[in-house]
Structure formats: structure tokens, C-alpha cells
Amino acid sequence: MNMDQWLILALLSNLFYAISSSIDKYIMNGRSNPIRTNATKMFFDGTILLAVGLIFFNIHIDLDLLVAASILGLTYAGSGIAYFLSLKTTNVNVIMPLNQSAVLFVFLFAVFFLNEAVDLFDYIAVMLVFLGSYVIVSNKKLEMPRLDPGLVLIIIMVLFASLWAISAKVLVSTIEPISLAITMYYFSSVFTFAYSFLNNKEKSEIEIPKIALTALFGSFGTLLLYLAFAIENASKVYSIGGIRSVFVFFIAAIFLKEKFNLNVIIGTLMVILGIYLIST
């Protein structure tokens, strides 16, 4: 097992996800319907990976792949829909920190359901990554969530995201990662479009060039994550995800001139220490 390879793949995956998330934030500040925009993005995600797959990989599609991809697509779409619905009722300062709990859920699911071997340092590491990323995205203020429909949606979002990650880890052991990623994105796009049109038939702007750009980074982020899952345990690979908060902040600092604060410095150090412990 090549430690350096899975770690590099996981770090690059989260860097690409961070770039994609930053572009998403810019798009969502406009007049776009967020759920429909996300569905369009996922269609582009699949199309970009399809083009890459046809050129560089041997894509094989069969019934087993379609069944597996439909499961992943449903959980991926469910997480995205729950996220955007929660934004309507809950402060983003609450959503973003709680979103980091997916790192903990995936770690625990991998240990208890996939029987992945971990030690005390792994538990310490994942807590450092979780708490560090939580501190970074808390925007100087740690708000306690209220028990309301928004909190329920956040819990659903985290559970769907965790199930998606664990399912992907299991499936990439028998299915080519790029084939799984391509078909997953197409299924997820269909599910999200179906939900959007059933619940909101109003027309909205679709910024194709920007969506294509964010899809470029997001699709490669998923492909790299799947490749890392094919090499290393989910309890290690997904725990690296806390670094995404660090990347997002540094992108904002460089391009939006956001200032560093004590939260970011402490959180970043915690995440880096956690990743070091995970990778050793």
C-alpha cells in the first residue's frame, strides 16, 4: 500500500473541491436557482469525466455499474438537496461547521461497518481534523444549533454525504473508479433535476461558463477521491477532508482579500497535525 500516493490523491481531491466550492459560492450569490444550478453542474461533471474516460481510460458499463451508480447518485443528490433546503431556514454559520461532522460519521461508519483497523492516534487525528475544520468555518462565532426543521435537514445532509462516501469506498473495490464517477454524476443530475422541476417550475438563470468551470474542478475532485478510496481505508482518506476548509479560506484570502484571524490559525494547525497523525 503506497501511503504517499493515497495522501497526494486525497489532498489534491480536496484542493479541487475547495476551488469548485469557491466558484459555487460566487455563482449562488447571483439569481440562479441553486438546486437546478447544482443539477446542471452534475451533468457537466459527468460529461467532463466521460470525455476524459473515453480518451485515457477503458470505460465499461453494465447492469452492476448502473445499479451501483444509481445508489451513489441518490445519496449524492439527497445530500445536495438537503443542503440547499437547509440554507432557507438556517444560518450558514451553523450549517458549515455542522457539515464538518461528516468526517466523524464516515470515520465511525468505516470502523464499525467496514471493520477498518484504527488505533488511538487515528481517533485523536480525526478529532483534531474535525475540530480544526469546525473552528475555521465558524466565522469567529460558535453558534449552537436550535432544534428546528433546518437542523433536521442538516442531519439528513450529513448522513447522505456519509453514506455516499462509505458506499463509494465499498464499490471502487470492484468497479473502475472513473466509470463509477461518470454514471454517478448522471444519475445524481437526473434525480436533482426531477426534484427541482417537481417543486419549482419557475425559470432561472443558468450561467453555463461558470458552471462548466466549477464542474471541471469538482469532477476531478471526485475522481481523485475515488482513486484514493481504491488504495486506502475510508477512515483515513475521508478524514483528510478537513483540509478543504483550509484551502477554501486561503483561496478567499488570496482572491477576496479576507483577513486571517485567530480561529483560522488555530484551526489550520489542528487540521495539519491531524493529517500528519493520520498519514503516519
Global pTM reads: 0.87
Dihedral sign for Cα atoms in the order 196, 91, 243, 208? positive
Instruction: List the pLDDT tens digit at each of the 280 positions of the chain.
Output: 455 899 999 999 999 998 988 887 777 666 667 888 889 999 999 999 999 999 998 888 899 999 999 999 999 999 988 887 776 666 555 566 667 788 888 999 999 999 999 888 889 988 888 888 777 766 555 555 566 677 788 888 889 999 999 999 999 999 999 999 999 999 999 999 999 888 876 666 677 888 899 999 999 999 999 999 999 999 999 988 888 888 877 887 777 666 667 777 888 888 888 888 887 7
**Cα–Cα distance between 48 and 195 in angstroms, integer?**
23
For residue 241, the 8-state DSSP code is G
Look at residue 172 and give its three-state secondary structure.
Answer: coil
**Cα–Cα distance between 39 and 116 in angstroms, integer?**
34
Question: In what helix (H) or strand (E) does residue 185 lie, and over which residues does it extend?
Answer: helix 177-199
Which candidate, 182, 277, 273, 197, places its Cα nearest to that of 236? 277
Which candidate, 3, 15, 40, places its Cα nearest to that of 224? 15
For the chain, how far is it from start to end, CA to CA, in angstroms? Answer: 13
> What are the CA-CA distances from residue 178 to residues 3, 171, 220, 258 (Å)?
21, 12, 10, 36
CB 41 within 8 A of CB 248: no
φ and ψ at residue 33, rounded to 5 degrees: -75, 115
Cell digits for 138? Answer: 465558524
Which candidate, 87, 69, 100, places its Cα nearest to that of 167? 69
Cell digits for 219? Answer: 469532477
Q: Which residues contact 70 (CB under 8 A, 6 or more apart)?
A: 187
**Cα–Cα distance between 4 and 156 in angstroms, integer?**
34
